[in-house]
Chains A and B, each alone.
Chain A
Amino acid sequence: MAGGTVSGSGHTPDEPAKEVRRVRLNVVLYRVMAYVTGVVLIVLCVLAIMQAFVNDEEAVSIVGQIHGGLYIVYLLVAFALCRRLRLPVWPTVAVLLAGTIPVMTFIVERWVTHRYIEPALAGATAAASPPVPEPRP
Chain B
Amino acid sequence: MPGILVYALHYEGAINKNSLGAVSEAARLAGELGTEAHAIVMGGDDLTDDLCASLGRYGAAKVLRAKGPEGLAQPVVDAMAKAVADGGYDYALFGGGLLGFEIGAGLAARLGAGVTMEVTAVNVDGGRLVAERPIHGDSSISSSRYKGFGIIIGRLNAFETQEAGSGAATVEDLDVELSEWSTRATMVKRGEQRGVDVDIEGADLLVAGGRGLGKAEGFEMLEQLAGTLGGAVAATRAVVDAGWFPYAAQIGQTGKTVAPKLYLAAGISGAIQHKVGMQSSENIVAINKDANAPIFEYSDLGIVGDLNKIVPKLNDAIKVKKGG
The finding on whether chains A and B are genuine partners in a shared complex, rather than unrelated, reads: no
Interface residues of B, Cβ cutoff 8 Å to A = none
